[in-house]
A and B are shown apart, each in its own frame.
Chain A
Amino acid sequence: MNKDTKISHLHLRGLIVSSVIGVGILSVPNTLADTMGSDGWISIIIAGMLMIPLLLMYNQIFKLYPGMDIFEIGKATLGSFFFTIVMIIGFSYLIVSLAVVIRTLGELIKIFLLQTTPLEFIVITFIIASSYIATYEIDVIARAGYFVYPIIIAFAFIIVLIAIPGANFENILPVFRFSFKDLLKGTGNIFFSFAGMELIFFAIPYVEDKQNIVKSGVLGIMTITIIYTVIFIMSLAHFSLNQLEHQVYPVLMLIRQLDLPGFFLENLDGLIMALWVIVVFSTVAPLYFGAGKVLSKLFKTKSHKYFIWALIPVIYFIAMLPENFIQLLYDLRHVHDILAVISIVLLPLLILIVGSIRKKVER
């Protein structure tokens, strides 16, 4: 564990919000409209509440082994061999996440900003631009997250402002018209929009004021939940449920339809997309850092810098694997979702359980 790296709990909050909110923010309304209909916001709140026990679980792992980072804890609990497998799974999750996020970014940039530029070029430039910060330590990444934090809030705020003129809040009604099965499915779907939480694994051991971790984390989760809820409600109010079900990125449509009379800029979608690039960057940076870090631990090297550079072609290759956008949305996402459940919930739970038992036995 590196003693020079220090993070304040505020940075932890920034890291949570910025790494969770990324590509998902644009598709949340559609994801939910499909399953939960106009009651999607209930799923968001439930999923948000489910993140809190997850946060407590993460924190508990580090409480068991104070002063150790996740790699040392993993080795101490599961042993070298099993933890290597865990690391490989975690690494594949991170790398697939990166590919999905970056490919989605590339596709949307191509649609909204650069129709004639090849997708390959957009993807590779973004990977290279993100690799710069990923070669540094988690405190720098967390600082960047904190930098983007107000931008994310401003981004959500602008979307709300844009949606207000055409909003019809009657669309939200009627409420509570879903079956229990729908709720499970909807909550399950939206759960993946909260992926990114696991990145605090790299950050928690370095937080200076440990007693604030939970408080700060809960505030971060609440911020995300509120942003998602508000964006869902605004898009629902702007489009009807029917329209919402048929648009993959209703938020972008919402911006595109905007026409403010007498306003300096007419088509705000380009500018909003540009702002969104930064939001996505703040998701990619910690993922990329994590992938490099895990790889460097697998190969037992001190610095993860060279792995970050070596990963540039790997991420590019996986991101370009799906032949088209549709395939990306279904196939690669599917792989991602499975790996996400394993790495975010199951593996930490395993470490926690084995760790707790070991501690008990030792006593």
Chain B
Amino acid sequence: MGFKVSSDLEKNLEYVKEQLKDCDDVIYRNLEIGDENKVKVSFVMIDGLASKLEISDFAIETMIESSEVNIENLNNFKEEFLKYILDEGISNSEVKLVDDYDKIFNQILSGETLLLMDGIDTGIIIGTRGWALRAINEPETETVIRGPRDGFTETLRTNTTLIRRRIKDTKFKVKMVRVGRRSQTDVAIMYIEDIVDPKILEEVKKRLNNIDIDAVLDSSILEYLVEDNYMSIFPQIENTERPDSVAAALYEGRVALIVDNSPFALIMPATIGTLMQSSEDYYTRWTEASFIRLMRILAVFLVILPSALYVAITAYHPGLLPNRLIYYLAASRINVPFPAVVEAMGMELIMEIIREAGTRISGPIGSTIGIVGGLIIGQAAVEAGIVSNLMIIIVALTTIASFAIPSYELAAALRLCKYAFIVLAGILGLYGIMLGVILLGSHIVILNSFGVPFASPYAGLGVEEGDLKDTLVKAPVQRLWMRPGFSNPQNRIRMKRGNKK
């Protein structure tokens, strides 16, 4: 700390080389410019991170070509020479003078180029970031039938650009912070100044500041570090690959984080209501979107309950079903050698393994897993009489239903709950399931996300504000003239009421 650029180029280079010892991806380019009094200059950059084309075309080439500069007046050498370098030597758009080595190394390692000059005790950082990028692709986890198809990439700047293109407003702010002692990962805090609740923004900034970790490799790590309750099964921060989702959240007065090297942006606060929304809801007719939203709520129950109910009913309360259904159930279970709990637990766990195997492997082997899983385990197990037909249908139903929930993390949490419910149903039947509902409900009510109750808008904030018309169903755009209230935006009106055609 504290090392400054000295006016002796040799000393500077020695120091830089000492610090970047054994870093063989560093390029040093030495030049001499000037007509009679030659001045030595050196470029330092990282191979692959800095765009070589840019540095050779706009800095090195121009300097060599215009090397007939004549510097006689040594008294004023520093100002004159710097002026010359900045005015004629370098034609890049981003140039700044830095003399602190900590900052300099930081910049070099981010892909900028350092220019050191003999006799001048300051370095010039030239903006030359340019590395191999992944092109903007359609997001793989959140596809839509209608709606924009661009998704985030691993490069932070590309991602902020994608959002900036959707919010052409000076009030839209992108604050950059760095997280990670060694990784020095760039994190962009994004918000719209006159909509966001300052308390939530402060809280986000405070929590980011408190992080002390050596590396942040992905936004998920940051998510676990800043969320309210890391012991919870529920995600308390939303993540998305879609710039339009982020922009929509910003317009609702929420805060978004983009982490360098991660194609997933974080949105906070998140509530059970927002985790059940998909961006496509806003691009389809309100009637269909409302219907789909209700179906999703049904899907939540279909993930948790069917196998637990199967266990409870077969083991404890066969009387709940009409007689014909009981006979059917009894007949399908007649050869099954296991108690219902073992049967349900076993099948659900096998399904989980098939699913995991299918997620990690794609392509031809992946479809083999589907065939083996579906045909052998399903058909053959039933024919062998190890599991009942109904159990297979239930397992298929719960698995499919878990894919109908927009947030993958929420679906994963509910899948875990399913197992707890099966166990509870095995011990206490329907009463056990209700105890599970009580515990799960309590947990949802207890959780907070950046000061906003996680149960919003169903039981927390936003009931009075009418948030239900954009969570339980989706009202027509004309009716959503106010921003949702759960995120406590400063300015709630987003549309002139009664817009005429």
Residue ranges of A at the interface with B (Cβ–Cβ < 8 Å) = 8, 10, 14, 109, 113-114, 117, 121-122, 125-126, 129-130, 132-133, 136, 140, 143-144, 146-147, 263-267, 270-271, 273-275, 277-278, 281, 285
**Residue interface bits B427-446, CB-to-A below 8 A is 1, else 0:** 01111111101110111011
The residues of A that contact B445 with a CB separation of less than 8 Å are: 133, 140, 143-144, 147
What's the least CB distance linking A313 to chain B, in Å? Answer: 19
Contact A266 B442 (CB under 8 A): no
The residues of B that contact A132 with a CB separation of less than 8 Å are: 439, 442-443, 446
Which of B428, B431, B432, B445 has most A Cβ within 10 Å?
B431
The residues of B that contact A117 with a CB separation of less than 8 Å are: 428-429, 431
Contact A277 B431 (CB under 8 A): yes
The residues of B that contact A275 with a CB separation of less than 8 Å are: 434
The residues of A that contact B437 with a CB separation of less than 8 Å are: 278
Do A278 and B317 form a contact, CB below 8 Å, given A113-B430, A270-B430?
A: no
CA gap between A133 and B435 in the complex, in Å:
13
The residues of A that contact B433 with a CB separation of less than 8 Å are: 274
Contact B442 A144 (CB under 8 A): yes
**Residue interface bits B452-484, CB-to-A below 8 A is 1, else 0:** 010100111101100000000000000000000
SS class of chain A's interface: helix, strand, loop or mixed?
Answer: helix
The residues of A that contact B438 with a CB separation of less than 8 Å are: 129-130, 277-278, 281
Contact B316 A10 (CB under 8 A): no
Contact B446 A140 (CB under 8 A): yes
**Residue interface bits B248-267, CB-to-A below 8 A is 1, else 0:** 00000000000000000000
Contact B431 A114 (CB under 8 A): yes
Chain A to chain B contacts (Cβ below 8 Å), 10 pairs: A113-B430, A113-B431, A117-B429, A122-B428, A129-B435, A129-B439, A263-B322, A266-B322, A267-B319, A270-B430
Do A146 and B428 form a contact, CB below 8 Å, given A8-B464, A113-B316?
A: no
> How many cross-chain pairs have Cβ atoms below 8 Å apart between A and B?
90
Asked if B323 is at the interface of the complex by the 8 Å CB criterion, the answer is: yes
A275 nearest CB neighbor, chain B only: B434
Known A-B contacts: A8-B461, A133-B442. Give 11 more (CB < 8 A). Answer: A14-B459, A113-B316, A114-B428, A126-B435, A132-B442, A132-B446, A140-B446, A146-B459, A267-B320, A270-B319, A278-B437
A285 nearest CB neighbor, chain B only: B442
Q: How many residues on the B side are at the interface (Cβ–Cβ under 8 A)?
A: 31
The residues of B that contact A14 with a CB separation of less than 8 Å are: 459
Contact A114 B429 (CB under 8 A): yes
Asked if B380 is at the interface of the complex by the 8 Å CB criterion, the answer is: no
Contact A274 B434 (CB under 8 A): yes
A137 nearest CB neighbor, chain B only: B446
Contact A143 B453 (CB under 8 A): yes
The residues of A that contact B320 with a CB separation of less than 8 Å are: 265-267, 270-271
Contact partner of A264 (CB less than 8 A), chosen from B316, B322, B464, is: B322
Question: Which residues between 289 and 330 of chain B lie within 8 Å of chain A, taking CB atoms?
Answer: 316-317, 319-323
Contact A147 B458 (CB under 8 A): yes
Residue ranges of B at the interface with A (Cβ–Cβ < 8 Å) = 316-317, 319-323, 428-435, 437-439, 441-443, 445-446, 453, 455, 458-461, 463-464
The residues of B that contact A113 with a CB separation of less than 8 Å are: 316-317, 429-431
CA gap between A270 and B442 in the complex, in Å:
23
CA gap between A281 and B440 in the complex, in Å:
13
Contact A143 B460 (CB under 8 A): yes
What's the least CB distance linking A294 to chain B, in Å? Answer: 21
The residues of A that contact B431 with a CB separation of less than 8 Å are: 109, 113-114, 117, 122, 274, 277
SS class of chain B's interface: helix, strand, loop or mixed?
Answer: helix
The residues of B that contact A285 with a CB separation of less than 8 Å are: 442
What's the least CB distance linking A318 to chain B, in Å? Answer: 21
The residues of B that contact A278 with a CB separation of less than 8 Å are: 434, 437-438, 441
CA gap between A266 and B323 in the complex, in Å:
8
Contact A147 B455 (CB under 8 A): yes
4 A-B pairs with the lowest CB-CB distances in the bound complex, closest first: A133-B442, A147-B459, A277-B434, A266-B322
Contact B463 A10 (CB under 8 A): yes
The residues of A that contact B434 with a CB separation of less than 8 Å are: 274-275, 277-278
What's the least CB distance linking A19 to chain B, in Å? Answer: 15
The residues of A that contact B322 with a CB separation of less than 8 Å are: 263-266
Contact B446 A265 (CB under 8 A): no
Contact partner of A144 (CB less than 8 A), chosen from B319, B430, B441, B461, is: B441
B455 nearest CB neighbor, chain A only: A143
CA gap between A277 and B438 in the complex, in Å:
9
B454 nearest CB neighbor, chain A only: A143
CA gap between A10 and B458 in the complex, in Å:
12
What's the least CB distance linking A242 to chain B, in Å? Answer: 28
What's the least CB distance linking A41 to chain B, in Å? Answer: 31
The residues of A that contact B439 with a CB separation of less than 8 Å are: 129, 132
Contact B446 A136 (CB under 8 A): yes
B435 nearest CB neighbor, chain A only: A129
What's the least CB distance linking A325 to chain B, in Å? Answer: 17
A14 nearest CB neighbor, chain B only: B459
What's the least CB distance linking A111 to chain B, in Å? Answer: 12
The residues of B that contact A265 with a CB separation of less than 8 Å are: 320-322
The residues of B that contact A122 with a CB separation of less than 8 Å are: 428, 431
CA gap between A11 and B92 in the complex, in Å:
60
CA gap between A275 and B319 in the complex, in Å:
17
CA gap between A271 and B442 in the complex, in Å:
21
The residues of A that contact B429 with a CB separation of less than 8 Å are: 113-114, 117
B461 nearest CB neighbor, chain A only: A8
What's the least CB distance linking B324 to chain A, in Å? Answer: 10
A110 nearest CB neighbor, chain B only: B431
A130 nearest CB neighbor, chain B only: B438
CA gap between A93 and B176 in the complex, in Å:
57
The residues of B that contact A114 with a CB separation of less than 8 Å are: 316, 428-429, 431
What's the least CB distance linking B304 to chain A, in Å? Answer: 14
B453 nearest CB neighbor, chain A only: A143
Contact B428 A143 (CB under 8 A): no
CA gap between A278 and B439 in the complex, in Å:
10
A266 nearest CB neighbor, chain B only: B322
CA gap between A130 and B437 in the complex, in Å:
11
Contact partner of A270 (CB less than 8 A), chosen from B317, B455, B459, B463, is: B317
What's the least CB distance linking A203 to chain B, in Å? Answer: 15
CA gap between A147 and B457 in the complex, in Å:
10
